[in-house]
Chains A and B, each alone.
Chain A
Amino acid sequence: MSIVFERTRGMVDMPLHYCPGCTHGIIHRLVAESLVELGLMDDAVCVSSVGCSVFTYNYFDCDAYQASHGRAAAVATGSKRVLKDRTVFTYQGDGDLAAIGTAETVHAAARGENVTIIYVNNAIYGMTGGQMAPTTLVGQKATTSPNGRSAELQGYPIRVCEMLSTLDGTAFAERVSVHNPANVRKAKKAIKKAFEVQTAKQGFSIVEILSTCSTNWGLNPTDSLKWLEDNMIPYYPLGNFKTPEEN
């Protein structure tokens, strides 16, 4: 008898506050497992954000900051500049990173800050109750786009990985999803790679993870996985956008 899978020691043994079926929990696990497997967990520094992931600092078994809305990349910058040998990562949602925190994110990437951004994109503001996010798809209903997002009125959703991969300071950018076991495995590979890029001091790394929000999408958890696959992936294609050259 051998254990094939057990709870990672990288996460504090406490219940998660997320809604049933919210894939944040899967992403937390992948981040913690990656850090543990790379031997980086004890040295890691988590910068949590504002939104559903606000309590992230409770869950990872490492030092942490709780940053103001959108500013996680700036806080990570200040921290990493002092703690040069520690693994500093932010954990941010799409409202936090791609709306209020756009400037901090873009410039941390442009400077090539040697930090890792874990960016969870579920195309909606979750914590505040389902308002339209910068990543809400055209036509998608939200409490502040009750008839569906209109491109004419509200413009278009932002593809963060594509945008950041144009910057010279970005070393690694990959978009993954966690809607089925195969993609969960790929997501973990990308997260691990991002941390390795930081350890090798190669610069800014970001992993964008497509995630569900059954509560605010108004779907059950299983249908949410399907909705993600059918609607988000076509607009937010999965794949690597940038990776350091092997030498």
Chain B
Amino acid sequence: MAQGKVTFREDRCKGCGLCITACPKQIIFLDKNKINIQGYNPATVEKMEECIGCGNCALMCPDLIITVERF
């Protein structure tokens, strides 16, 4: 299976969680240990090695903060 990498532009994240609903691997979560410049817990991925680079998270992100790469 292809491997992917997602990058979040953290400062622009509003912590809405729509990316979480779209991730087939369920690897995105809101980082409760972090508060961004807007005051939200931003979306993040820890187990990046599980990302398949499908891009669903980016399709659902209303704030256009996600970049997806595949290799």
Contact = CB atoms under 8 A, between A and B. Distances in A.
- Chain A partners chain B: yes
Interface of A: 1-8, 11, 15-16, 18-26, 29, 180-181, 184-185, 214, 220-222, 225
Contact of B59 (A1, A19, A24, A181): A181
Contacts of B26: none
A21 B14 contact: yes
Given A1-B69, A4-B70, A5-B55, A21 B22 contact: no
Contact of B62 (A1, A6, A16, A222): A16
Interface string B12-30: 1011111011100000000
B48 interface: no
B67 A3 contact: yes
B61 to A, nearest CB: 7
Contacts of B4: 4
Closest 9 CB pairs of A and B: A25-B62, A21-B16, A20-B14, A5-B68, A20-B16, A5-B58, A1-B71, A4-B68, A181-B56
22 contacts: A1-B70, A4-B54, A4-B58, A5-B59, A5-B67, A5-B68, A7-B64, A11-B64, A16-B63, A19-B14, A20-B15, A22-B62, A24-B62, A25-B63, A26-B60, A26-B61, A180-B60, A181-B56, A181-B59, A181-B60, A221-B18, A222-B21
Given A26-B61, A181-B22, 6 more contacts: A5-B59, A15-B12, A20-B40, A184-B60, A221-B16, A222-B20
Contacts of B60: 26, 180-181, 184
A4 B53 contact: yes
A79 to B, nearest CB: 27
A185 B53 CA distance: 16
A215 to B, nearest CB: 11
Contacts of B53: 4
Contacts of A3: 67-69
Contact of A25 (B17, B61, B69): B61
Contacts of A5: 55, 58-59, 66-68
A18 B63 CA distance: 9
